[in-house]
A and B are shown apart, each in its own frame.
Chain A
């Protein structure tokens, strides 16, 4: 008898097919959408990716960080520094910013991993604050009030405004898709199995030979890298940066957490659903300003108390759905008779 591990179930093929169609439709957006549509879609992609990364960190690796804005801002500032101070092409600066952030995340991880649980969370927040305060001290990039991307750099992205819009849109789509794909691949690898084991029972996982510390470290650094690339792209699109915007707890952590909680923590589909709900709410309610934010907070609390698995969690538990083929099944096959 042989043993084989298979991924996914029949329903997944439908999900993957739907995903491919959606991707093609979205890639064609420059032809059917206007400038505003492209910007809105880019924002949605960014949040789907940021939320998926936070989900990977908190829902799978058990590292609940409220300081990921550190890497959004670091990525953004790295890009601006590389492009403005060192004259590197802005598009190439995106992956470079990611690498810089990954490098910096290593000493950060060594420090904050000394804290556990809630204290880890606040520790990451403090690190983000340190980054923010340091950024406001860099006068070459505008200090506390920030700076704009010079015209020369903007032109370097693409010669015409339309081409710039399209280029950055496609990069946003590609980056988000790549992040999702990498997350799925990671979870299908043996690191993924380790993560799922750690999520369910860390001590038991460690006893089974999972190197918990190293796995967490790896996930933390990879997440920092991807988050920074997203931050670089986001602020490249905004054309302007400031410490408060780049390291905003609200924009890059509170909203991200909200999205993940509503959509469903620890499930890949969660952040996608959550982002769609978040943007729907925003379109409907943003006029209400602070009341809108209060409602977000209230909704997050209610969901956490009543439906801690989020929307997708409830749906998946009820119907057993799964969009991405991730569930492992062990198949026993009879040995071929001779």
Chain B
């Protein structure tokens, strides 16, 4: 029973990791870009939520109404004005520019908010639990977060495979030159993709903010978790990314249960094992 609880907690947190990963996966799928500032943008979203809740006196989940559009606009502008210029054959420019961005965001947040830990309060929902079975309780908030993660991934799948813009994403990813012949302006397609990615980041950021303390330096860890989830799950598959997140969450939970100091290390070890045994990921769908 104890172990079932551990795994359950791992699965629930895995949903959050899958959300970290979904944004990354989307961007890589559409434009072969890995955004090193991704984790820092999640933390930025958390701080935007902080400001929104303090300014308007609303709860964090309500704040989503503000945070999601704000981050989406930031994403569009970032891609349009900065990142579009870095795309091309060479992988150094986008990597270095997003690295520089990561430094700027972290230190900008540090300057604006100091290194103090903060957390968003969501009220009663934070401590509410549901009893699943004898001795098996699950928090309402983690469950909600998991459900949202699944919904987000399902939503992204829907957008990608059942809408015109999703077709545009896939076509531009396949062949940017021919996509132009269809009347698609690559710059706009990429900017929209980044906006979508940051919309997901916004949701992830708010849940991060409610779940635990956060501070400006937490970005890189989120990036790494997201990245590990993508690799474990396999490139090119959004549901694979969900699975990857769940596996990572469970690995960390198991590690933490054995020794609290091993939590993150356990996740890294799981990642390295998958990398060694099945480098394309467990559910890979697409050629890299």
| Pair from one complex | yes
- A297 at interface, CB cutoff 8 A: yes
Report how many A-B pairs have Cβ atoms within 8 Å.
119
Q: Which residues of B contact A117 (CB under 8 A)?
A: 32, 34, 91
Contact A130 B99 (CB under 8 A): no
Contact A137 B96 (CB under 8 A): no
Q: How far is the CB of A72 from chain B (nearest CB, A)?
A: 17
Rounded to whole angstroms, the CA-CA distance of A122 and B288 in the bound complex is 16
Contact A308 B107 (CB under 8 A): no
Contact partner of A64 among B91, B271, B279, CB < 8 A? B91
Among the 9-residue stretches A90-98, A159-167, A219-227, A286-294, the one with 4 or more Cβ atoms under 8 Å from chain B is: A286-294
Contact partner of A257 among B93, B99, B108, CB < 8 A? B99
Rounded to whole angstroms, the CA-CA distance of A130 and B107 in the bound complex is 24
Q: Which of B43-96 contact A (CB under 8 A)?
A: 82, 85-86, 90-96
Q: How far is the CB of A15 from chain B (nearest CB, A)?
A: 26
Q: Name the residue on A nearest B37 (C-beta).
A: A297
- A35 at interface, CB cutoff 8 A: no
Q: Which residues of A contact B271 (CB under 8 A)?
A: 126
- B264 at interface, CB cutoff 8 A: yes
- B152 at interface, CB cutoff 8 A: no
Rounded to whole angstroms, the CA-CA distance of A13 and B110 in the bound complex is 49
Q: Is the interface of B mostly helix, strand, loop or mixed?
A: helix
Q: Name the residue on A nearest B220 (C-beta).
A: A249
Q: Name the residue on A nearest B216 (C-beta).
A: A290
Contact partner of B93 among A115, A249, A293, A304, CB < 8 A? A304
Q: How far is the CB of A159 from chain B (nearest CB, A)?
A: 40
Rounded to whole angstroms, the CA-CA distance of A112 and B276 in the bound complex is 9
Q: B-facing mask of A123-147, CB < 8 A → 1, else 0?
A: 1011001100110110000000000
Rounded to whole angstroms, the CA-CA distance of A297 and B100 in the bound complex is 4
Q: Which residues of B contact A254 (CB under 8 A)?
A: 99, 103
Rounded to whole angstroms, the CA-CA distance of A133 and B267 in the bound complex is 12
Q: Which residues of A contact B95 (CB under 8 A)?
A: 64, 66, 118, 121
Q: A122-B227, A137-B261 are in contact. Are A297 and B268 (CB under 8 A)?
A: no
Contact A66 B91 (CB under 8 A): no
Q: Name the residue on B nearest A306 (C-beta).
A: B85
Q: Which residues of A contact B110 (CB under 8 A)?
A: 290
Q: Name the residue on B nearest A116 (C-beta).
A: B288
Contact partner of A291 among B111, B220, B223, B276, CB < 8 A? B111
Q: Which residues of A contact B33 (CB under 8 A)?
A: 118
Q: A-facing mask of B106-117, CB < 8 A → 1, else 0?
A: 011011000000
Q: Name the residue on B nearest A107 (C-beta).
A: B276
- B212 at interface, CB cutoff 8 A: no
- B194 at interface, CB cutoff 8 A: no
- A331 at interface, CB cutoff 8 A: no
Q: A66-B99, A301-B97 are in contact. Are A133 and B91 (CB under 8 A)?
A: no
- B125 at interface, CB cutoff 8 A: no
Q: How far is the CB of A30 from chain B (nearest CB, A)?
A: 36
Q: Which residues of A contact B265 (CB under 8 A)?
A: 130, 133-134, 137
- B256 at interface, CB cutoff 8 A: no
Q: How far is the CB of A257 from chain B (nearest CB, A)?
A: 6
Contact A305 B82 (CB under 8 A): yes
Contact partner of A133 among B92, B94, B97, B268, CB < 8 A? B268
Contact A261 B103 (CB under 8 A): no
Q: Name the residue on B nearest A296 (C-beta).
A: B103
Contact partner of B264 among A58, A133, A261, A265, CB < 8 A? A133
- B171 at interface, CB cutoff 8 A: no
Q: A-facing mask of B246-288, CB < 8 A → 1, else 0?
A: 0000000000000001001100110110011001000000001
Enumerate chain B interface residues (CB-CB to A < 8 A): 28, 32-34, 36, 82, 85-86, 90-97, 99-104, 107-108, 110-111, 220, 223-224, 227-228, 231, 261, 264-265, 268-269, 271-272, 275-276, 279, 288
Q: List 8 A-B contacts (CB under 8 A).
A: A122-B224, A122-B227, A126-B224, A133-B264, A265-B92, A297-B102, A297-B104, A305-B85
Enumerate chain A interface residues (CB-CB to B < 8 A): 58, 64, 66, 111-112, 114-119, 121-123, 125-126, 129-130, 133-134, 136-137, 249, 254, 257, 261, 265, 290-291, 293-294, 296-298, 300-301, 304-305, 308
